[in-house]
Structure 1
Amino acid sequence: MANKSPAIIQQYLEEVEAAAEEVISDQQEVVTLDRRRNTNREALRNLRNNSSTSEPRRESERTWICVGNMFLRMPNSFVVDSIEKEQKQLDTEINNLRNSLRGKVNKLNDLEHKEETRGSSLKPLSQEEWRAVRQALGK
């Protein structure tokens, strides 16, 4: 880079900066979505179990929820179903962000002339693959 013009160096630095901002933005989005997912998990646990007693809540009970800037009283079963659907959507969004993040980190590493991050392309075993592993181990 010593013999390069200032315009080329500036363009290179802008590309690296843009790639780094994408990575940081995606990482922050994953953290935000994960916090929301954890909050939903807590809400589900409280809806399924009455915090004042050890007996489960009845399906006919109604629960207050906040939708936008309104509070609504909805059937407990509807609220649980809605939160479970949102959990599935959040899981999908987080997985998609994490998968795209791998490529963005590799792009940033390429721009910075670094090696690819080891283990960044690993994927978890599916349930079928786990069954095969357990079967091979005799469990």
Structure 2
Amino acid sequence: MALSVEKIQQYLVEVEEAAEDIISDQQEIICLDRRRNTNREALRQFQTKSTEKQATTTKNWICIGNMFMRLPKPHIVESIERDEETVINIKFTFSEQKQLDTEIKNLRNGLRNKVNRLNDLEDKQETIGTNIKPLTQEEWKAVRKALGN
């Protein structure tokens, strides 16, 4: 009898750990996605709404870590567009956007496996559609060719 109680307890621990892992990954995806969108908005804001005259005279506030700084717009835009660290270490760069996209993609791909593992532990069927991948460009060309487009 004690052995079966231990097995049940171990089973519940495994299910809880799997579920907690899924929830933490989902939260991480949400945080990274918010950060990616905020970075995208900041980059877009600096790239638009400026004339040549404003671009040379306007100073903008930026937040670097816990500190706000007012810097000339050309320096900010230049450091955002360059893919290297400059005198000011601005947090939103294009390379960071690519890195965030990669991290989100990896977490989402790993999430599929974790959900399937949890379903296996709970003796449920595999979630339909979780392993679907988009067609590549070559596959799309073949489809268009087969359809005569």
Question: What is the TM-score of this pair, normalised by structure 1?
Answer: 0.81
Secondary structure of the 2:42 match is helix
Letter in 2 for 1:67: I
- Counterpart mapping for 1:1-139 below 5 A: 5-50=4-49, 55=51, 58=55, 63-72=60-69, 73=71, 74-81=75-82, 83-139=93-149
Q: Deviations over 1:74-100 (max 9, x none)?
A: 431212445221110110000000011
78-87 or 98-107, which deviates more: 78-87
Shift of 1:106: 0.6
Q: Deviations over 1:50-78 (max 9, x none)?
A: 1xx6x477489765432212334343121
> Do the aligned partners of residues 17 and 79 (structure 1) sit closer, same or farther apart at CA in structure 2, a change above 3 Å counting?
same
C-alpha RMSD of the superposition:
2.7
Q: Which structure 2 residue ranges, 5 or more long, are not aligned?
A: 83-91
Distance in 2, Cα, partners of 1:63 & 1:88: 25
> Do the aligned partners of residues 132 and 12 (structure 1) sit closer, same or farther apart at CA in structure 2, a change above 3 Å counting?
same
Shift of 1:114: 0.4
Distance in 1, Cα, partners of 2:94 & 2:57: 18
Secondary structure of the 1:46 match is helix
Match in the other structure for 2:86: none
Distance in 2, Cα, partners of 1:71 & 1:105: 42
Question: What is the TM-score of this pair, normalised by structure 2?
Answer: 0.76
Distance in 2, Cα, partners of 1:100 & 1:60: 47
Distance in 2, Cα, partners of 1:60 & 1:124: 47
Give the share of equivalent positions with the same residue, in percent.
59
Secondary structure of the 2:93 match is helix
Show structure 1 runs of 4+ deviating over 4 A. 55-63
